Amino acid sequence: MPERAPTPQQTLALIFGASTYLRAPNLRQGPIFSNSAREVQEYLTSPNGLALPFENVRWLFDDVQSPSDQMQDFRNFLEVRTNDLKGAGTPAQDLIVYYVGHGLFSGPSHDYGFAISTTDAQLKGPTSIRVGDLAAVIKAFAPFLRRFLILDCCFAASAFQQFQADPMEVGSEKLLAALPGRGTALLCSSSADDPSLAPQGHPRTLFTDSLLQSLHAGHPSLHSSFSFGELAELVKEKIRETGSDLGPRPEVHSPDQREGDVATIPFFPNPAWSPNWQSGKMPDGKREIERATTTKSESEIERRSAEAEKQSALYEKAIAVDASASESARLAEFQEFLSQATFQVSANALNGSIMRPIQQPIEMKVYTKLPREGGYITQRSEGYRVQGVVSYKFASSELFGELVGAEKDFRACSTVEGLNILEVITVDRIVSTISVDLSRLNDRPPTVELLGTVIENLRIGGYPIDVTLEAPFFELIAARAGFSLSQNGKDIPTRAFPYLQVRASYSQSFQQVSSNTIELRGGGRLILGELKIEDKSLSSTLLRYEHDRMGTISVANICWGIETL
């Protein structure tokens, strides 16, 4: 296989796995899995990573579809994107598959599979994604793509005992036997199901934590891009540094190398590359790797720490101005702080926690975070459903702007179409927008604009609810607890400010209790258009459903604030 250089536009990716298992409570659960998946997605799409277009990445992590439906979803993604790219004259050439979660063996033949959110401990095989099914989709709809698989699998201790060896070796053999040998490379790691294997103070799995550290740090002895095999060596060294004897054991497999080993193709950008280094080999011994990578990591931490201290000092100076000081002096201090601070912006279409009729957290859907250097980024989803509780037909998040430097501004937009909550609350279309302009601090206070925010055809039990945007503009001002808002020259002291006006006709099913809140007779409340001010941050939720026994669902969420270390 010719060694074509990878390009972001021609690379596709799948991220799948789970952090919760309602029908398999014996499997370890928790945010270390979802954090790992989300940060891998960030690396894949970030300009400082592989810079893949968001439409080239399919997110099926914590998806509640059945195994067959998830594979159908993956098949549709491959079919649509490969056809689109071929039509654009940039045919797809690479596929990255990342899984984090639990590896499982089932049946008398020890069929290997991947646990997902709907996996049932009593029916592991039929309710998990079997390697044969994953391989069948890849072979049928990505037959000519180079395949790079990264598997971060946690196994029960019984699996290690059963095979008298690393169960990932058994699993990888089964997976590679099902996939075409040529053009396939597999980086996999297994660990015992032991909470101690998560690094203390780190929110990710040990393997993915080491993987991300290696990708973000690179190594100065490697060329401007390094290969899958070189990445594995960096990951191994990072894991050795933890001193864990029971930690994951990463291995690279590239079975058929007759037309070239895809594991040797330069693929990942090397942040530590310098033209002064000409060696393309890994340095021998732990000490040299440790010296080079640790120095870069420590210098980055020191730089960000110094930056955070500077911002903190400016902030304290801004809010410490005596209350008797003139408004112009108070504003000048605040503007100086804003002009030198570094901000972060994120959006998601849906999140929450369900307690009844099923107990299930809702991880942030269509989560998007603007890179630190700014730019443009978007994410979309064709649909989501938790049976009988909440669903939508389409969702997207869009962010663009500049977050550093003297002139900063950004716009965030979160859209949800076809929303249905409990078959009671329905909305055709929700669009939440926030624009913050800090680009003219010498001329005027920073402004917060909500123009473009709409809720179309909101109904409760079939009754229409009229919603209008009552407060489209604010000024951002200083307050001793953080930020505050001003409208028409008057400070808004409330920590949560409604910016929508609801007008609901009388119904026996619900009643309006405030300008933006409706109480449902059967319990629960609907809160629309709320702007919250926290310490040095501002967030907006366009629609939130709350029920004391059933849980909370938040729709069209945007958050903006000061970046912290």
Q: Do residues 237 and 371 share a domain? A: no
pLDDT at residue 256 tops 70: no
Query: Which of 283, 310, 341 lies at the terminal end of a domain, its last residue?
Result: 283
Same domain, 387 and 265: no
* Residue type at 207 in one-letter notation: F
Residue 245 lies inside a defined structural domain of this protein = yes
Instruction: With H, G, I as helix, E, B as strand and everything else as coil, classify residue 313.
Output: helix
Average pLDDT, the chain: 77
Identify whether residues 193 and 341 lie together within a single domain. no
At which of 283, 318, 353 does a domain end? 283
Structural domain includes residue 83: yes
Looking at the structure, tell me whether residues 275 and 357 fall in a common domain.
Answer: no
Asked if residue 291 is part of any domain, the answer here is no
CATH of the domain at 51: 3.40.50.1460
**What pLDDT sits at residue 270?**
93
pLDDT, mean of residues 174-180: 55
Q: Which residue has the tokens 């004897």?
A: 245
pLDDT band at 162 (very low <50, low <70, confident <90, very high): very low
Q: Which two tokens stand for residue 157?
A: 């201790």
pLDDT at residue 97, as a whole number: 95
Say if CB 439 and CB 409 are below 8 A apart. Answer: yes
352 and 241 assigned to the same domain: no
Q: Could you read off the pLDDT of 337-369 as tens digits, one per residue?
A: 666 667 788 899 998 888 877 777 788 888 888
Q: How many CB atoms lie within 10 A of CB 313?
A: 11
pLDDT score recorded for residue 291: 47
How much is the pLDDT for 288? 45
- Which of 283, 311, 337 represents a domain boundary (last residue)? 283
Q: Same structural domain for residues 540 and 479?
A: yes
pLDDT of the residue at 194: 46
- Does 289 fall in a domain? no
Residue 244 has a pLDDT of: 61
Is the full-model pTM beyond 0.85? no
Q: Where are the alpha helices (DSSP H) in 192-326?
A: 206-217, 228-242, 286-319
Does 299 reside within a domain?
Answer: no
Same domain, 441 and 531: yes
Residue 281 has a pLDDT of 44
Q: What is the mean pLDDT of residues 172-197?
A: 59
What's the domain range around 177? 8-283
CA nearest neighbour of 221 among 294, 275, 299: 275
Mean pLDDT in residue range 423-446: 82
Tens digits of residue pLDDT in 22-69? 888 888 888 888 889 989 998 998 888 999 988 899 989 988 788 998
Beta bridge partners of 280: none
Cα 18–chain centre separation: 13
Contacts of 530 (CB under 8 A, 6+ apart): 496, 497, 498, 499, 516, 540, 541, 544
pLDDT at res. 457? 94
392 three-class SS: strand
Residue 361, helix vs strand vs coil: strand
The whole-number pLDDT of residue 54 equals 84
Q: Are residues 46 and 179 in the same domain?
A: yes
Model pLDDT, residue 493: 55
Residue 406 pLDDT: 63
Q: Are residues 55 and 169 in the same domain?
A: yes
Residues 361 and 216 both lie in one domain = no
Residue 272 sits in the same domain as residue 375: no
Res 160: pLDDT: 33
Residue 197, SS3? helix
CA 147 to chain centre: 23
Asked if the structure places residue 164 within a domain, the reply is: yes
Please tell me the total count of domains within the chain: 2
Percent of the chain with pLDDT over 90: 26
Query: Tell me: the pLDDT tens digits for 509-529?
Result: 778 777 788 888 777 899 998
Mean pLDDT of 450-459: 91
Q: How far apart are CA 519 and CA 528, in angstroms?
A: 12
What pLDDT, on the 0 to 100 scale, is given for residue 10?
A: 96
162 lies in a domain?
yes
Q: Is residue 183 part of a domain?
A: yes
Same domain for 344 and 430, yes or no, is: yes
Nearest to 183 by CA among 325, 314, 430, 3: 3
* pLDDT (0 to 100) of residue 311: 53
CA distance 52 to 42: 10
